[in-house]
Amino acid sequence: MSDDVVGGVASNQLRAFIERIERLEEEKKTIADDIKDVYGEAKAMGYDTKVLRKVVSIRKLDQNERMEQEAVLDTYLAALGMLPPDTPTGE
Q: Is the pTM of this model over 0.85?
A: no
In a domain, 69, yes or no: yes
> Rounded to whole angstroms, how far apart are CA atoms 69 and 78?
14
Q: Is residue 31 part of a domain?
A: yes
Identify residue 46 by its one-letter amino acid code.
Answer: G
Domain membership of residue 34 (yes or no) is yes
Query: Could you tell me if 49 and 43 are in contact, meaning their C-beta atoms sit under 8 angstroms apart?
Result: yes
Residue 87, C-beta contacts closer than 8 angstroms, at least 6 positions apart: 74, 78
Give me the domain span that covers residue 75. 61-91
For 38-79, the pLDDT digits (tens) are: 999 999 999 999 999 999 999 999 999 999 999 999 999 999
pLDDT of 21 above 70? yes
Please state, in angstroms and rounded to a whole number, the distance separating the CA atoms of residues 87 and 78.
Answer: 9
Task: Report which secondary-structure segment, H or E, holds 9.
Answer: strand 9-10
Whether residues 13 and 38 share a domain: the answer is yes
Domain count, the chain: 2
Flag whether 68 is in a domain.
yes
55 part of a folded domain: no
**Residue 87 vs residue 5, higher pLDDT:** 5
- Domain shared by 43 and 71, yes or no: no
Whether the predicted pLDDT of 19 surpasses 60: yes
